[in-house]
Amino acid sequence: MDEVFDTIIVGAGAAGLTAGIYASRAKLSTLILNEGAVGGQMVLTEEIANYPGVPTTKGYMLANNMKMQAKSFGCKIKSNIKIAKYELEGEIKAIELEDGRTFQGKTVILTPGGRPRSLNIEGEDQFKGKGISYCATCDGDFFTGKEVVVVGGGNSALEEAVALTNFATKVTIVHQFDHFQAFQHAIDEAKNNPKIEFVMESELRGFYGNGQLQKVSIEHLPSGNLSVLKTDGTFIFIGYQPNTEDLKGIVPLNDRNEIVVDSTMKTQVSGVFAAGDCINKRYRQVTTAVADGTIAALSVSEYLRG
């Protein structure tokens, strides 16, 4: 198409929608290209209770509010598309879709998001948001006075398990090895917490319940014995995957496949920025994605002013 947008945003999660709000409100012609449903990880979250100034709300409702706000400022959004090719070098960037359409922009903001690693076992998809969570900070308070399971043995798993003891009456850590892959201080803190129990050399094999998660099955790897543990919730911390598979060789990625950016969200490719769960950063929350998207849009405005 002949129109050259001031900026094209790839991805319509919290970071992309925020970038769209800020860019379009700054009178930049803005297009968001989104491969899935608008909202990203927000729409997979049953309730969001810690977004400042917003009472507890459904994830899809917060996403829809962001979408409508972006569109009210003139941001165009094209969803359920598939990107076939990126051409991000040069003064004018081009993004080609599988249906043959090509969109051009003076700048690009990459916000493809990411996803927690899944166990890929029976019942996991069924109970996501209904007892299964990948974020203790987001969902810990929903399990106040209840018993939960934590899966994993790295720093995140142990630190989040300790954090969950502020809400839960009991936390059971299930780990596949006989030792943890975490810093010693994290291990010591977990082992010294009276609310935490450990099931080592074991893996979950299934999630079960009636509408809401009620129990998990666990296999003890050395013996092969299966057991059932009643639980109100399970938190899975076995790593995180940025959605950057299609960006390898397009922009620099680190050893975790995260897009490398500086403090202004600039990548090493001129005119290309990135924000949200796809970039190299420590914490992944709706609020941090919103902050990243804000910075990226402001940086784009500055870049276009020259």
Domain ranges of the chain: 4-115+240-305, 118-236
Task: Report, as an integer, the average pLDDT of 267-281.
Answer: 97
Residue type at 164?
L
DSSP, collapsed to helix, strand or coil, labels residue 250 as coil
| Inter-residue long-range contacts of 247-252, CB under 8 Å, 24+ positions, other chains counted | 247/86, 247/110, 247/112, 250/86, 250/88, 251/88, 251/110
CATH number attached to the domain at 4-115+240-305 = 3.50.50.60
Q: Which of 22, 196, 199 has its CA nearest to residue 109?
A: 22
pTM: 0.78
> Which has more confidence, 2 or 169?
169
What is the pairing mode between strands 93-97 and 83-87?
A: antiparallel
CA distance 241 to 113: 9
pLDDT for residue 43 is more than 90: no
pLDDT band at 137 (very low <50, low <70, confident <90, very high): confident
Q: What pLDDT was estimated at residue 127?
A: 96
Tell me if 4-115+240-305 shares its fold with 118-236. yes
Task: Report, as an integer, the average pLDDT of 48-71.
Answer: 92
Q: What pLDDT was estimated at residue 206?
A: 97
> Which has more confidence, 201 or 43?
201
**Can you list the alpha helix ranges (DSSP code H) found in 26-100?**
59-72
Listed in sequence order, the residues at least 6 apart from 67 whose beta carbon sits closer than 8 Å to its beta carbon are 12, 17, 38, 39, 77
Each residue of 72-94: pLDDT tens digit?
A: 999 999 999 999 999 999 999 99
Give the class (CATH, top level) of 118-236. alpha beta
Each residue of 19-34: pLDDT tens digit?
A: 999 999 999 999 999 9
pLDDT for residue 64 is more than 70: yes
Q: What pLDDT was estimated at residue 248?
A: 96
Task: Report, as an integer, the average pLDDT of 94-102.
Answer: 96
Q: What angle do CA 142, 154, 159 make, to 5 degrees?
A: 40
pLDDT for residue 1 is more than 70: no
Q: What pLDDT was estimated at residue 45?
A: 73
pLDDT for residue 219 is more than 60: yes
